[in-house]
Amino acid sequence: MSDAITTAVTQQLQGLIDPYTGDKMTAAKALRTVNVTDDRVTVTLVKGYPVGSVFEELAAQVKDSLQGLPFAERDLEVEIQQDIQAHSAQQGVQAVDGVKNIIAVASGKGGVGKSTVSANLALALAAAGASVAVLDADIYGPSQPRMLGVNGKPDALDNKMLVPMQNHGIKIMSIGFLVEEDTPMIWRGPMVTQALEQMLRGTAWNMDDAEVDYMIIDLPPGTGDIQLTLAQKVPVTAAVIVTTPQDIALLDARKAYKMFEKVDVPVYGVIENMSTHVCSQCGHEEAIFGAHGAAKMAADFDLEVLGEIPLELAIREQADSGRPTVIDAPDSATAKRYRDIALRIAGKLSIKKRDFASKFPNIVVEST
């Protein structure tokens, strides 16, 4: 009887779709065990993305799918665990010590709210149970120190590695920690790219013996030196494009997509920021910058619209205060949108090809 129940559970779950991967609930060997006793059936799934904030949702979905099966009066219990692995990046690019996956958040144009989106996505992943870091790659206009409420300068270890700053449960590195806030960075391209590499590889991301599951890189706008360095020397697992609905922003967002396409970095989708304006007095929502711009771009390039974030006063106030929406108003509708986008990115990444390079031993041939 237990074998029949195990088979029935397995077949039933193969037809269930995971809302965050878009694939079967059992994809990537997620169904680990079906344990059948005289009074209980325990189903254990292991997902490759953080499940802390959606455990109840996923468990309820699994239970609903299995309710019709004949368990002969046995109770049904669903356990969902997480096991976040490193996934493949561009070939020939050296991995970053202590970092499993790097997600680049890009925009073709400035002023579309990319840094605000980056901060909230990082906090959403951390709230879901992942180890997260943010690298502020906008050398000329670093904003993550203020958005994430971090002051001061990073310490240095004996090996001259920088200690990442921390707040809200995430690790942070930015050129903004190393210069005064009102000091302009009057640097040419080579100095900028060198600064990015030094922050990336000169920071002890795993100094507490905890690997970073996801690093969010907040890119500057455009397709210049920083973006080229990222493509050539940083192992980017995936990229997402942030745009507003208006045509002028979408023109540059398309260029950002084309850049990643040329350097073989997969783009997981488009986030439409400032999608609608929400009145702080009456709550009326209106598409003042146009409607469905990201959807049109996504359709042209066979991409997914990962989510739409409204333009509302609270988002700006929360970011300026160092407590972005996901932290300051975790129960708000906007925070839920950020969490959903973050988990959809992590879910899509979880079914990508794994990176086994770090598992291979170093082979040294010596003459005797």
Q: Output the pLDDT for position 360.
A: 45
Answer yes or no: are the C-beta atoms of 10 and 19 closer than 8 Å.
Answer: no
Q: Mean pLDDT throughout 87-106?
A: 93
Predicted local distance difference test score (pLDDT) of residue 368: 45
**Separation CA 282–CA 278 (nearest Å):** 8
Contacts of 282 (CB under 8 A, 6+ apart): none
End-to-end CA distance of the chain: 63
User: Of 158, 136, 129, which Cα lies nearest the Cα of 217?
Assistant: 136
Q: Which of 303, 301, 246 is nearest to 270 (CA)?
A: 303
Q: What share of the chain is helix, strand, coil (3-state, %, to 5)?
A: 35, 25, 40
Which pTM does this prediction carry? 0.92
Does the pLDDT value for residue 283 go beyond 90? no
Do residues 160 and 80 make contact, with C-beta atoms less than 8 angstroms apart? Answer: no
pLDDT recorded at residue 150: 96
pLDDT(194) > 70: yes
Task: Name which of 277, 275, 341 is nearest 120 in CA terms.
Answer: 341
- pLDDT beyond 80 at 226: yes
pLDDT tier for residue 281 given thresholds of 50, 70 and 90:
confident
Q: Tell me what pLDDT residue 210 has.
A: 86
Please give the structure tokens belonging to residue 66: 């299995």
pLDDT classification of 294: cutoffs 50, 70, 90: very high
- The residue among 104 and 224 whose pLDDT is bigger is 104
Assign 356 a pLDDT band (cuts: 50, 70, 90): low
Could you tell me the domains of the chain? 2-82 (3.30.300.130), 99-350 (3.40.50.300)
For the cut 70, the answer to whether the pLDDT of residue 355 exceeds it is no
Say which residue, 266 or 221, is predicted with more confidence: 266
Q: What's the average model confidence in pLDDT over 278-290? A: 84
Contacts of 102 (CB under 8 A, 6+ apart): 89, 96, 214, 215, 217, 234, 235, 236, 237
What pLDDT score does 117 carry?
97
pLDDT in tens, 300-349: 999 999 999 999 999 999 999 999 999 999 999 999 999 999 999 999 99
pLDDT tens-digit series, residues 145-170:
999 999 999 999 988 899 999 999 99
Look at residue 321 in the predicted model and tell me its pLDDT: 96
pLDDT at site 1: 61
Dump pLDDT digits (tens) for 19-54.
Answer: 999 999 999 899 999 999 999 999 999 999 999 999
pLDDT of residue 187: 72
For CA atoms 13, 18, 24, 30, give the dihedral sign. negative
Average pLDDT over all residues of the chain: 90
Q: Give the mean pLDDT of 76-103.
A: 94
The predicted model gives 98-121 an average pLDDT of 94
Contact 304, 268 (CB under 8 A): yes
